[in-house]
Every structure is written in structure tokens, then in C-alpha cells.
Amino acid sequence: MAREQRVDVVAEMVANVLEVLVQPGAAVAVGDEVALLESMKMEIPVVAEHAGTVLAVKVAPGDVVQEGDVLISLSA
């Protein structure tokens, strides 16, 4: 039996979290928007690079994230 793989969706830059678009248990496909960040007055959509189920949401609106911070964990 194959072991479930965890994949993290990470921030690509320092930014503010504007919105989290998924909740634990939600299914996501490649390319689905999972969060919306704001940096330098620009809105940056964060998309899933892997399909899977949301295991955990590690951020909330208003949080400040650093480059490489985990936003969402998926089971792939």
C-alpha cells in the first residue's frame, strides 16, 4: 500500500495574507487558487502545484508571511 505524501504550498515572497480560499478536507486540483497574498499593493494568487486534499491551513487573513513559509499542507 502506497504511503500518503504530504506537499506544502509555500509563500514565494514576503507578503500579507489577504484571504485563504480553502479549508481542511477540501479537494484541490493543479492550478486551483488556494490563497491570496498582497505585497507592495499587488494581489498575488497562490495556486496549488499538486492535486490533493487540504490537510492543514497554516495561515489566516492578516498574517505576514516570509519567503518559504508554509501556507497550506496537502495530501497528494
State residue 76's pLDDT score: 82
Task: State whether residue 14 is helix, strand or coil.
Answer: coil
Q: Give me the tens of pLDDT residue by residue for the chain, a chain 76 residues long.
A: 556 799 999 999 999 999 999 999 999 999 999 999 999 999 999 999 999 999 999 999 999 999 999 999 999 8
- Residues 25, 40 contacting (CB under 8 angstroms): no
Q: What cell was used for 30?
A: 493543479
The domain 6-75 is classified under which CATH number: 2.40.50.100, 2.60.120.380, 3.30.470.20, 3.40.50.300?
2.40.50.100
Domain residue spans of the chain: 6-75
State residue 10's pLDDT score: 96
- Residues 40, 13 contacting (CB under 8 angstroms): no
Report the predicted TM-score, pTM, of the whole model to 2 decimal places.
0.90
State residue 1's pLDDT score: 52
